[in-house]
């Protein structure tokens, strides 16, 4: 296993723009894919564009902590196999929204495994926007657990 430690991640942030690139940004195109090793997991309290923490209110994020239930985002930090250029640290954030979870869940079932640092996600692919409503369709690719 070649999991990065906190110092490796801090150095990558200092040398890069501060955060790993989003694996599937709004500019993602159908067919874009991700292959690499899970090096970190994060869980953060989501904030609005001004930095105020968000809380669940009537099933929607709001800045008023009426329920006390914070909106938490879970993400995987992936060290990709093929960085884009010499300035690319090769780290990508895969935010575990419901659409990503659905695709990743299927890959985990097929592998009969649970996520782990050092595990590999291969060919996780953005298929395109959902035909109804909002959201995105992904193909979970293959999950390979770390060697024991």
- CA distances to 18, 19, 104, 128, 139 from 31, in Å: 27, 24, 16, 8, 10
Closest-CA residue to 36 (of 95, 90, 78, 89): 78
d(CA 46, CA 26): 18
What digits encode the pLDDT tens for the residues 42-98? Answer: 888 888 888 888 998 888 888 887 777 898 889 999 999 888 888 788 899 999 999
pLDDT of 146 higher than 50: yes
Mean pLDDT (whole number) for 36-42: 93
20 contacts 38 by C-beta, under 8 angstroms: no
Mean pLDDT (whole number) for 24-35: 92
d(CA 87, CA 104): 29
Query: What per-residue confidence (pLDDT) applies to 8?
Result: 63
Mean pLDDT across the chain: 86
Residues 6 or more apart whose CB falls under 8 angstroms from that of 39 comprise 2, 3, 4, 9, 77, 78, 79, 91, 117
pLDDT of 119 higher than 50: yes
Closest-CA residue to 101 (of 81, 122, 119, 115): 115
Mean pLDDT (whole number) for 14-24: 69
Query: What per-residue confidence (pLDDT) applies to 37?
Result: 96
pLDDT of 12 higher than 80: no
pTM: 0.78
């Amino acid at each position: 296993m070649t999991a990065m430690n906190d110092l490796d991640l801090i150095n990558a942030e200092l040398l890069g723009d501060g955060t790993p690139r989003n694996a599937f940004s709004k500019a993602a195109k159908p067919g874009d894919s991700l292959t690499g090793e899970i090096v970190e997991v994060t869980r953060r309290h989501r904030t609005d564009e001004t930095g105020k923490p968000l809380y669940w209110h009537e099933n929607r994020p709001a800045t008023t902590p009426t329920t006390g239930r914070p909106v938490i985002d879970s993400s995987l930090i992936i060290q990709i196999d093929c960085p884009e250029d010499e300035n690319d640290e090769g780290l990508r954030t895969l935010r575990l929204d419901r659409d990503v979870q659905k695709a990743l869940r299927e890959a985990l079932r097929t592998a009969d495994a649970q996520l782990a640092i050092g595990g590999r996600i291969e060919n996780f692919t953005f298929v395109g926007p959902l035909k109804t409503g909002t959201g995105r369709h992904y193909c979970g690719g293959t999950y390979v657990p770390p060697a024991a």
